Amino acid sequence: MATVDDPIDAYWTDSEPARVSGHEYRRARRTPVTWVRGGGLATLLFLLPMLFVFGAFSWYPIVRTVIMSVQHTNLVSPATWVGLDNFRAVLHDPLLPKAVENTAEFAGLALIFGYPVPLVAAVLMSEARRFRGVYSALAYLPVVIPPVVAVLLWKTFYDASPTGVFNTILGWVHLGPYPWLQSQQTALPSLVLESTWANAGGTVIIYLAALTGVNRELYEAASVDGASLWRKVWHITIPQLRGVLLLTMILQIIGTAQVFLEPYLFTSGGPANATLTVLLLIFDYAFGNSLGGDYGQATALSLMLAAFLAVFSLAYLRATRSWSAK
Amino acid sequence: MKSTRMTALLAVIVTSLLAVFASSVSSAATAKTVTISVASLIPGSTPAAIAQFNAQVAEFQKANPSIKIKPVEYQWTGPTFAAKLAAGTLPTVFEVPFTDARTLGDNGQLADITTEVTNLPYFSKYNKAVLAEGTTAKGKIVALPKGAYAQALHYNRKLFVAAGLDPNKPPTTWAQLAADAKQIAQATGKTGYAEMAKDDNTAGWIFTTVVYSLGGRMEVGRGTSAQATLNNPKAVTALNMLKKMRWTDNSMGSNFDYSWGDINQSFAAGNIGMYISGSDVYTNLVSASNIDPSIYGLGTIPLAKNKTAGVLGGGTEVGVRPDANAAARAAAVKWIDFFYERPLVNKAQAIRNAQTLVASKQPVGVPALPLFNKKQYDLANTWIKPYINVPLAQMKPFNTNIFNQQLVPEPAASTQSVYHSLDAAVEAVLTDKNANIQQLLDAANSTAQGLISQGK
């Protein structure tokens, strides 16, 4: 049993009422009045809008997703319980391996080509002595262009005829014409290229902000030692940014694993499923049939993807914990 | 005596008051406005087309002051329709293909409009087969036909002339079509023959048309017990034909992901020599793609010389949202009657409709198939003859031959799923020179069979 010397302390303790110096302090009980006076009502009022927003738009859909994954429903007729049938149907779908393969290829290509681009751009920009703001603005410009507009723009670039923008430019050096989106081999890399252009700007800004936190004295000391730009990047910049680099990498992997916009708007998953991704397959389950989709299968695959990403993220964080903490 | 008079007076006053109250309630009820949203034009329609539609809305509202019409841009595509259906964001009156209306009705996704429709004065004149497309298994009418089409060959007369071909003689065999396409591509650098080949069911739809024209069929039977026959020998021939035009003749251009709207725009822009689509597509070419009428030509699909070769026919139904209340349903059927049906059976309405269309420079007299019977179709065309503004002479190859062709309806079971299963096969042949045709069709058949068996 704890003893208290002050009534205020007694208010906060869960101990039994104590006798001190002959006075009996009864434990201050939480009553609605004390709760309101303590600011509880105000806290709740401030909290309510957020609780409502999260509840309605995040938690409720998640709960509904779990429920729908074990139902057969077209959202109009009454739903029927089907247990794990939706999961079995998804796992037996011959298109699933193709969608997983394409998604992995997209993520891999984006990691190999798209991941270093913002870092290189940020380092070069930070080295610039003039017009740094202009370079940042130019790098960020694609991010503010509406994605649909960007895709329409790039569709004209990717026109497979000899008069297409890219083919015309390549024609000047006697290359092409290339089929770009019209070939099963080049369609996916073409999507990665546009996606890198469209999304790199945001990461560049993150790196530029992180670079301001790197101690300039380290670069000055390296310069005194005669280090080249490359050695400074390799031995100072990258180690100093490792925390940010690890974070942007996992965010990029999660983002590319859920790629939908580019394959949907550019190719609808074609040609011949060459750009069918997991998210596009989910979309097809839900909306591919005009008579009403299979929302059960769509939500089942969504849950499988979410579970995979959660496990992958945990493993990634565990594997990189020691490095990022250095 | 005095009390009797008082009672009588009181009774008169009460009765009068009740009568006044009842009449005010009645007039309030009749004056109550019903607002319904209706599918209008496809997104991107020209200002003239929009003005024409609005003029018709104004005319309807004048005749029906208690109904307010809210036009909503609308274009049926499989994925967007499914999303709107699930989200409940379809307009009160909307359009669906022949292939979907019946199943949507069976699933409770279209309103039962039997009572309202059977009261229409011309109801008994409908072609029974056409009416059946919008009737559920339990005999409830859930949709009325908007129009029926036969697949047709649309061709660019200007490119025909530039390639040294006779613009009044479109190809009548597939061999001739391939030769003409090659000639157009070589002489003009444009696409000789193009096909919709997108993963949105259009690739499968057009491919099925080609297979029908060779005498093949995509399934046997109806419902979930139907047997898929997507890998039939005619389908193999059709894909080989495409493969030759694409890779050997190099006459199919460089774009192999055309959807319905894209191919119309590209054709109207003068980039395509020939393509297959519904016979009524000229309306869209004018209202959304600003086609130069002088380049337009319309012929029938080349049919193989065998008994089963036929032209794929389909159409569009108009239905009502299942959550529409009685007043909205009644208003919706009035709109369907006014906008879609009456111009086909009522001389005055047909002429008024044609006048409005002509005033807005919209096409009148686009070839279609009869919803009632051939006699009624011809009669309706005589009513509007002075207003016909489509290049009829350039459509002669179609109009003179179409009624001699065997019309074959779309696959009855899981139509859109069958088309979707074929999409990838068509795309593969057009984008991979070494595509294994038999393997692709076997895979498509297996997928389609699975979906048919599940009733999807």
- Is the Cβ pair B432, A76 closer than 8 Å? no
Q: Are B399 and B257 within one domain?
A: yes
Q: Does B255 touch chain A (CB under 8 A)?
A: yes
**Average pLDDT over chain A, rounded to whole?**
87
CB pairs under 8 A between A and B: 115
Mean pLDDT of B215-228: 92
Question: Sorting pLDDT into bands at 50, 70 and 90, what band is B316?
Answer: very high
Per the domain annotation, does B64 fall within a domain? yes
Where is pLDDT greater, at A129 or A179? A179
Closest residue of chain B to A267, computed from CA coordinates: B257
**What is d(CA B380, CA B393) in angstroms, rounded to the nearest whole number?**
19
Q: Does B83 touch chain A (CB under 8 A)?
A: yes
Question: Which of B370, B387, B404 represents a domain boundary (last residue)?
Answer: B387
* Cross-chain CB nearest to B85 (options A184, A292, A294): A292
Token look-up 């590209």 returns B266
Q: Which of A249, A262, A268, A267 is nearest to A114 (CA)?
A: A249
* Cross-chain CB nearest to A272 (options B109, B417, B424): B424
pLDDT at A19 over 60: no
Quick: pLDDT tens for B24-79: 444 444 558 999 999 988 887 788 888 888 999 999 999 999 999 999 999 888 77
pLDDT at B84: 87
pLDDT at B86: 80
pLDDT at B18: 53
Per the domain annotation, does B174 fall within a domain? yes
Q: Does A296 touch chain B (CB under 8 A)?
A: no
Closest residue of chain B to A288, computed from CA coordinates: B79
Which chain A residues are closer than 8 Å to B254 by Cβ?
A: 159-161, 177, 179, 182
pLDDT at B412: 85
What domain range is B68 assigned to? 34-148+314-387
Closest residue of chain A to B422, computed from CA coordinates: A272
Q: Does A272 touch chain B (CB under 8 A)?
A: yes
Q: Are B292 and B433 within one domain?
A: yes
Lowest-confidence pick of B31-35, B151-155, B299-303: B31-35
Quick: pLDDT tens for B4-21: 555 555 555 555 555 545
**What is d(CA A30, CA A324) in angstroms, rounded to the nearest whole number?**
45
Q: Are B374 and B412 within one domain?
A: no
- Provide the whole-model pTM: 0.81
The one-letter code for the residue type at A181 is L
Question: Which of B355, B387, B419 represents a domain boundary (last residue)?
Answer: B387
Classified as helix, coil or strand, B184 is helix
Question: Sorting pLDDT into bands at 50, 70 and 90, what band is B353?
Answer: confident
What are A134-138's contacts with CB under 8 Å, separation 24+?
A136/A204, A136/A205, A136/A208
Question: Sorting pLDDT into bands at 50, 70 and 90, what band is B168?
Answer: very high
Per the domain annotation, does B5 fall within a domain? no
Q: Which of A266, A284, A130, A144 is nearest to A202 (CA)?
A: A144
pLDDT at A10 over 80: no
* Cα-only R_g, chain A: 28
Q: Which of B310, B187, B150, B173 is nearest to B241 (CA)?
A: B173
Q: Are B366 and B378 within one domain?
A: yes
DSSP B265-314: HHHHTT-EEEEEEETTTHHHHHHTT---GGGEEEEEPP--SSTT--EEEE
Q: Are B282 and B414 within one domain?
A: yes
CATH number of the domain that residue B283 is part of: 3.40.190.10
**What is d(CA A262, CA A162) in angstroms, rounded to the nearest whole number?**
23
Per the domain annotation, does B372 fall within a domain? yes
> Is-contact B242 B430, C-beta < 8 A?
yes
Per the domain annotation, does B3 fall within a domain? no
Neighbours of A36 (CB within 10 A): 12
Quick: pLDDT tens for B121-133: 999 888 888 888 8
Number of domains in chain B: 2
- Is the Cβ pair B430, A271 closer than 8 Å? yes
**Average pLDDT over chain B, rounded to whole?**
90
Q: Are B301 and B322 within one domain?
A: no
Closest residue of chain A to B426, computed from CA coordinates: A272
Mean pLDDT of B291-319: 95
Per the domain annotation, does B1 fall within a domain? no
pLDDT at B430: 96
pLDDT at A275: 96
Which chain A residues are closer than 8 Å to B424 by Cβ?
A: 270, 272-273
Q: Are B228 and B365 within one domain?
A: no
Lowest-confidence pick of A10-14, B15-19, B415-419: A10-14
Type and span of the H or E element at B315:
strand B311-320
Q: Are B323 and B307 within one domain?
A: no
**What is d(CA A240, CA B66) in angstroms, rounded to the nearest whole number?**
72
Classified as helix, coil or strand, B149 is strand
Q: Which of A100, A194, A215 is nearest to A148 (CA)?
A: A194
- Is the Cβ pair A270, B96 closer than 8 Å? no
Which chain B residues are closer than 8 Å to A294 by Cβ?
A: 456
Q: Which two tokens stand for residue B3?
A: 């009390």
Where is pLDDT greater, at B127 or A277? A277
Q: Does B191 touch chain A (CB under 8 A)?
A: no
**Domains by residue range for chain A, with CATH:** 7-81 (no CATH), 85-325 (1.10.3720.10)
Per the domain annotation, does B332 fall within a domain? yes
Q: Are B325 and B187 within one domain?
A: no
Where is pLDDT greater, at B212 or B198? B212
Question: Sorting pLDDT into bands at 50, 70 and 90, what band is A26?
Answer: low
Q: Are B140 and B273 within one domain?
A: no
Q: Are B377 and B280 within one domain?
A: no
pLDDT at B180 over 80: yes
Q: Which residues are CB-contacts of B364 (< 8 A; sequence separation ≥ 6)?
A: B354, B357, B358, B384, B387, B388, B389, B390
Task: Give the bridge partners for B68, in sequence order.
Answer: B35
Quick: pLDDT tens for B94-121: 999 988 898 888 888 899 999 999 999 9
Q: Are B296 and B327 within one domain?
A: no
Question: Which of B387, B404, B432 represents a domain boundary (last residue)?
Answer: B387
* Cross-chain CB nearest to A272 (options B79, B100, B427): B427
Per the domain annotation, does B162 fall within a domain? yes
Tell me what percent of the residues of chain B surpass a pLDDT of 90.
69
pLDDT at A308: 97
Which chain B residues are closer than 8 Å to A293 by Cβ?
A: 82, 86
